Each structure stands twice: as structure tokens, then as C-alpha cells.
Amino acid sequence: MSQHYAIGIDAGSAQTKAILLDTASLTLLAKVALPTGWNPKASAETACAKLQEHCAKPGTSTIVATGYGRVAIPFADKNITEIACHAKGAAHCFPQADLVIDIGGQDSKVISLQKGGRVRDFLMNDKCAAGTGRFLESVARLLGLSIAELCALAVCDKACTITSMCAVFAETEIIGLLAKGATPGAIAAGVLTSIAKRMHGLAARMPRQGDCVFTGGLAQSPVCAEVLSRELGYPVCVPDNPQFTGALGAALEAARLAKEQKQ
Amino acid sequence: MTWSSFEQFRAITDRNVLRLQEEKQAGRKVVGQYCIYTPMELVLACEAIPVSLCGTKNDSIATAETVLPRTLCPLIKSSFGFALEDSCPYLAASDLVVCDTTCDGKKKMFELLAQRKPVYVLELPQRQDEEGLAYWQKQLELFKAKLEEHLQTTITEQSLWQAIDLSRRFRAALQKVLDLGKRKPSPLTGLELLEIAFRASFMPVYEECVEELENMAREIAASVIAEDTHKPRILLTGVPTGLGSHKVISLLEECGASVVCIDNCSCYKKVRPLPERQGDPLALLAKHSLPIPCAVMSPNPGRYETVAELAREFSVDAVCDLTWQGCQTYDVESVSLRHFVQDTLSLPFLQIVTDYATSDSEQLRIRIQAFLEMLA
């Protein structure tokens, strides 16, 4: 029997993430992340090529694409939305989960799950970048930091209050705070708190009995997870490599598709 | 699919403006209306022409924003923009514009509109109880007197009954067409349902409109429907939509859904049947129009009843609630509607908040696709 691989590609607005699974066992064989840049097709191709270096045995593969660039990936067998993929990926890592909070590059979402990782309901932030990774990126740039450095600084216990609901105006607000002598740590803590409050505003609209999973790049930072869980009032579960949750969901869907086609 | 009656309806309604001008030259008066709470029967009873006014296009919004705040809903901005530009031929032709006190944004916009056009403000109560009804009937009496004075005519009981009969036939004919969406699959797309209701609302000759709608209903009902496509059937509810503000209906259908019923005041809310002929015609009109379940009413029990009824009659798989940005009443009501649809009707629910611009189309497409994935 020849080997069959399941590949999930999450072409996000900032990063392209890809995951390689063994279709039969769903064992994780490899993962790749690279900047999406201006050409989601090219970065998806590069990511795929890198994954295939990890295929020990020759074989066939099924590819599922997700993320905003998913429609630009012609070699995918199927494309599904990142909402469905984050749900699948999160439920795979935490079978007791019924809520997923994802803070992505250009939008943030709260997904309510039913059994088996299917989406029951979801809410997304409105037409605005505040509360997204993009917003955090611009604040980090303003402070001359990387996002990781900014998150690490946010342990400061005197967080500034950031009230603007718009990313552009929040930037103006931060410039004002800096002028008044606020420290980068206080600003970083304030920004994370403001994002966490927005997510709480969405999450509170959904029922929750089981685990709440925090996915997306920001979930890599323990400080971020702590701030979010403080604002929510309950703990959040973070999968290993949370930025790959969407790609994992896509790879799981690829495996399901391959098994279905085989029957 | 194409139908000759639909093509004929398009050809006739393409000439709506020309036809209105001909009628005006022949001495007919025109009364523009923004809202379906205004009983068009009173206007018809004057032998005047009730017409809808433009307010569904993005083009006039930039002009409106030279005066109005940007955060106002696109419907109010678009309507006012048309007035500022003098680019709506129906508004230009109107001898009187009736403005209902529905939401706060509209009320205040009408004050500005009154500086440009003869405006009559119809005071709509916000409660649909006995007191509200008595108040509303009184307002309709005042409106009747205003029409008689302004258009120099007399509305008799007989002319009002005749107008009610015409309106009854118009509503029934439009309903026949819109009810085609109950079939599986619907022979008409959501965009076509919208187009038909939209074009009909600008037709100056109502008798002709009834005839055209009847023809369409007959031909389309008789056509052979292809096998079931298994597209998810969507009930769209919420704010008014028209050509130019049809973005969400297009997106839903591009993503593979079939919008089978549009529960808003530009479409299915128009066809609520008039009660049987009895008693005072004005009382009948008050009783018919006040229960329209617009989100400006508080409480608004009819909204939930209507959504439940339409969801059942049109056998829908899900409900999509459209809210224009800045429309507070529909936005807040969506919170209760979500619970009602999910918990009582056990149907999936998606609220979309947007405006007329296409800038967020791709973000909306993702939400809509994810919603349709949920139904699969």
C-alpha cells in the first residue's frame, strides 16, 4: 500500500502556515511557516515543497487550503474557511472544547463548537483592525519592538487604558500616552488588555460549558494568554503551536476527504 | 432561466421615469414616500401617484456626507444625497414628500429635507397597542386633510374604498410572485425577487403593475422546475434593500445559497394582505399599517412572529439578518432575534452589519462561506 499524506495550508494575511499529516494515523510529520508576502500562491507552493521534503516515502497527497489566500491556491483539492479549520483543529487538540478564540492578522473570531468540532455559531470583529494582530503589529512598530518583545513587556502591572475602538485612533492615543511619559511596558499591557476586552465582548455572547481554546499567533505568548484569561474570567487552553491550528484543521479535513474518496 | 413576462416587465419598468413624467404632464399629482407605514391608498384615493424615492445607491452618499454625519446609516445618507444632488427623478417629480417618524436619524434628516422639498411629517407611534392605534388613526386623518388641501381634491369614502381595492390587488399580485420562492427549488433567485419588488415600487400606473405581476406569476409558476439543486434556502430579514444595496444578497447567492424570501419593507413586508372591506376605511388602513413589524416599534412582537411564519412557509435552512451600519434599532433587535431563531426555531443565524460600499465584500464573503459550511 502506498503512503498517503494529508496537507493543510493556511494562507493567512501575514503568514502562510502548512502542516503535513500521515493520513492513516494523523501523526504530525512536519510543519512550515513563512511570510505570505504579496503572492499567496507562491508562498503556498514554497510551503508545500518544504513539507514534501519530509515525506519519507513517495506517495500521494490530498491538499486542503484555508485562510484569506485559499482561493489563490489552484493545486488544492478543496478550500474551506478558516472558521471551519480553527474549529476542527482546536477540537482535535482539546476534545472537550466548545469555544475557540482566534486572534488573526486581519480579523478576530469567536467560534462556538458542537460535537466533533463542527461550527455551531461564530462571531467576528467588525470592519476594523482594532483587536487584530495587525493592530498589535502597528503598536509594536511604534515602540520599535517585535510583537514577541511587545507581548513579553506586557507583564507590567500598571497598564495604560486604551479606549479607542479604531486601530488608527488607538495609535494616536498611544502617541499621546508616550508623550505623557508612559512606559512601553504599560502601553503594551494596555494594548493587550484592550484586545482581550474586545474578545471578551464577543465571547460573552456565546454559550460555554467546556474548554475555551485560544488559537492564532498571539497565543504563543504566555502573557497574552494570561491577559485574555484574566479578562474572560476563566482559563484558556493553548494548543502546541497555536499559530498552526487553522493549518491543522485543513490537514484534518484533507485526511477526511482522502478517506472518503477511498471508500 | 428567462421568461418573456419578466423581460416585458423589465422593458416596461425601464420606462418608469418617462411614464411618470407623461402622467405628470397630463395633470396627475405625485406623492413620494420613504416608508411603507404611509398608506399609499390615501394617495391613490386622490388619483395621485404614490412612488418610492431613491435611497439604495452608494453614489449619493459622498454628497450627503458634506452635510450629514458619516456615522449615520447608509439608507438615510443615500436618500438625502439624492435630494442634495437633485438626482432622484421620483423626488423631483413629487408634489409632496411624506416622511414617517420612524427612527431618530430619519426624523432629523427630514428637517433638512424640508428646506428643499414640501415635506409632510407623519407622526408614527412606537407602540402597536390600542392607544398607539388611536393615535395613528388620528394622524392618518390629519394626513388625509393635508393631502386634500395640498392636492386640492376630496377623498370620499367611495374613492378610498376603490383605492383600497386596487392596493389589495397590487399586494396580492406581488405576493403571488414573491411566493414563487416557496417552491423547491425556487424558480427565482433572491436577486430577482429583489429586482421585481424594487422595480414595481416605482411603477406609476398601478393597474398596469398588477397586470404585469400577474403575468409573471402565471408564466413562472407554469414553467418546469429543474431538479432540486440542494442549495441552502435562506430567509433574509432586517433592513430595506434595493438595487444598489443588494450586496449581501449577491454574496449569499455567489457563495451557493438560495435567498428564497426577503423579509423587509422593500420586499415581503409590502404584501401583508389588507383586511376585508368593513367599517371605516381609514380605521382599516390604520389597523393594517400599524402592525408592520419594523424595529422602530417597541416592543416588536410581530418581527419574531413574521420570521417564524416565513421560515416555516418558505422551508428555510437558515436566517440571515441584515443590518445597515448605524441603524440602531435593527442592530439592537438582532440580539433578541438571534436567540429567538437559534433557540426557538432551532435554525442557524447570521447577522451581517455593513453599508452600501463594496470595500468589505471579501470579509463578508468569508463569513457567509463559513455560515454555509455550517449548514452543509
A196-216 pLDDT per residue, tens:
998 999 999 999 999 999 999
pLDDT of residue B147: 98
Q: Is the Cβ of A218 closer than 8 Å to some Cβ of chain B?
A: no
- Asked whether residue B179 carries a pLDDT value surpassing 90, the answer given is yes
Closest to B177 measured CA to CA, from B155, B162, B197: B197
Contact assessment for residue A70 and residue A76, using Cβ atoms and an 8 Å cutoff: yes
Mutation target to probe the A interface, by most A beta carbons within 10 A, among B247, B320, B349, B367 is: B367
CA distances in angstroms from B257 to A23, B265, B319, listed in the order given: 32, 22, 11
pLDDT of residue A131: 73
Query: Is the CA virtual torsion B226, B232, B237, B243 positive or negative?
Result: negative
Q: Is the Cβ of A141 closer than 8 Å to some Cβ of chain B?
A: no
Instruction: Give the residue on A whose Cα is nearest the Cα of B318.
Output: A121
Determine, for residues A120 and B354 on separate chains, whether the beta-carbon distance falls below 8 Å.
no
Instruction: Give the residue on A whose Cα is nearest the Cα of B336.
Output: A205
Name the pLDDT band for A132 (thresholds 50, 70, 90): confident
Determine, for residues A82 and B366 on separate chains, whether the beta-carbon distance falls below 8 Å.
yes
B91-102 pLDDT per residue, tens:
999 999 999 999
Phi, psi of B240 (to 5 degrees): -65, 150
Once rounded to an integer, what is the mean pLDDT over residues B355-366?
Answer: 93
Name the pLDDT band for B158 (thresholds 50, 70, 90): very high
Half-sphere exposure (CA, 13 Å, Cβ side) for A126?
Answer: 14
Dmax (CA) of chain B: 60
Beta bridge partners of B51: B32
Closest to B233 measured CA to CA, from B183, B174, B177: B183
Once rounded to an integer, what is the mean pLDDT over residues A167-183?
Answer: 86
Q: What angle do CA A89, A93, A99 make, to 5 degrees?
A: 70
Determine, for residues A126 and B342 on separate chains, whether the beta-carbon distance falls below 8 Å.
no
Q: Render B63-78 in DSSP notation, one character per residue.
A: HHTTTS-TTS-HHHHH
Once rounded to an integer, what is the mean pLDDT over residues A170-191?
Answer: 90
**Topology adopted by domain A96-238:** Nucleotidyltransferase; domain 5 (3.30.420)
Q: Is the Cβ of A120 closer than 8 Å to some Cβ of chain B?
A: yes
Closest to A262 measured CA to CA, from A60, A17, A69, A113: A60
Q: What is the dihedral of CA A206, A208, A211, A215, to 10 degrees?
A: 0
Contacts of A81 in chain B (CB under 8 A): 366, 369-370, 373
**Topology adopted by domain A3-85+244-262:** Nucleotidyltransferase; domain 5 (3.30.420)
Contacts of A127 in chain B (CB under 8 A): 325, 354, 359-360, 363
A49-100 pLDDT per residue, tens:
999 888 878 889 999 999 989 999 999 999 999 999 999 999 999 999 999 9
A20-30 pLDDT per residue, tens:
999 999 999 99
- Asked whether residue A130 carries a pLDDT value surpassing 70, the answer given is no
Determine, for residues B363 and A107 on separate chains, whether the beta-carbon distance falls below 8 Å.
yes
Determine, for residues B374 and A118 on separate chains, whether the beta-carbon distance falls below 8 Å.
yes
> Which residue do the cell numbers 502506498 mark?
A2
pLDDT of residue A128: 67
Within 10 Å of residue B231's Cβ, how many Cβ atoms? 19
Phi, psi of A64 (to 5 degrees): -120, 130
| Residues 6+ positions from B126 with CB-CB distance below 8 Å | B132, B296, B297, B298
- Asked whether residue A165 carries a pLDDT value surpassing 70, the answer given is no
B233-251 pLDDT per residue, tens:
999 999 999 999 999 999 9
What nine digits make up the cell of A205?
455572547
Helical residues (DSSP H) of chain B, grouped into ranges: 4-14, 16-25, 40-45, 61-64, 74-85, 89-93, 104-113, 130-150, 157-178, 190-200, 206-222, 247-254, 281-289, 301-313, 328-339, 361-375
Residue A232: enclosing H or E segment and its boundaries?
Answer: helix A222-232
Determine, for residues B373 and A83 on separate chains, whether the beta-carbon distance falls below 8 Å.
yes
CA distances in angstroms from B319 to A28, A114, B233, B258, B363, listed in the order given: 39, 19, 9, 12, 19
Q: What angle do CA B80, B86, B88 make, to 5 degrees?
A: 80
- The ranges assigned to domains in chain B are 21-155
The Cα A48–Cα A31 span in angstroms is: 10
Closest to B355 measured CA to CA, from B105, B112, B67, B57: B57
Nearest chain A Cα distance for residue B368, angstroms: 10
pLDDT of residue A166: 73
- Asked whether residue A167 carries a pLDDT value surpassing 90, the answer given is no
Once rounded to an integer, what is the mean pLDDT over residues A146-171?
Answer: 83
Contacts of B359 in chain A (CB under 8 A): 127
Determine, for residues B370 and A126 on separate chains, whether the beta-carbon distance falls below 8 Å.
no
Contact assessment for residue B322 and residue B308, using Cβ atoms and an 8 Å cutoff: no
CATH 3.30.420.40 boundaries in chain A: 3-85+244-262, 96-238
pTM (two decimals): 0.94
Nearest chain A Cα distance for residue B82, angstroms: 26
Nearest chain B Cα distance for residue A146, angstroms: 27
* CATH top class, domain B21-155: alpha beta
B100-126 pLDDT per residue, tens:
999 999 999 999 999 999 999 999 999
Q: Is the Cβ of A121 closer than 8 Å to some Cβ of chain B?
A: yes
Contacts of A124 in chain B (CB under 8 A): 363, 367
What nine digits make up the cell of A90?
482546536
pLDDT of residue A129: 66
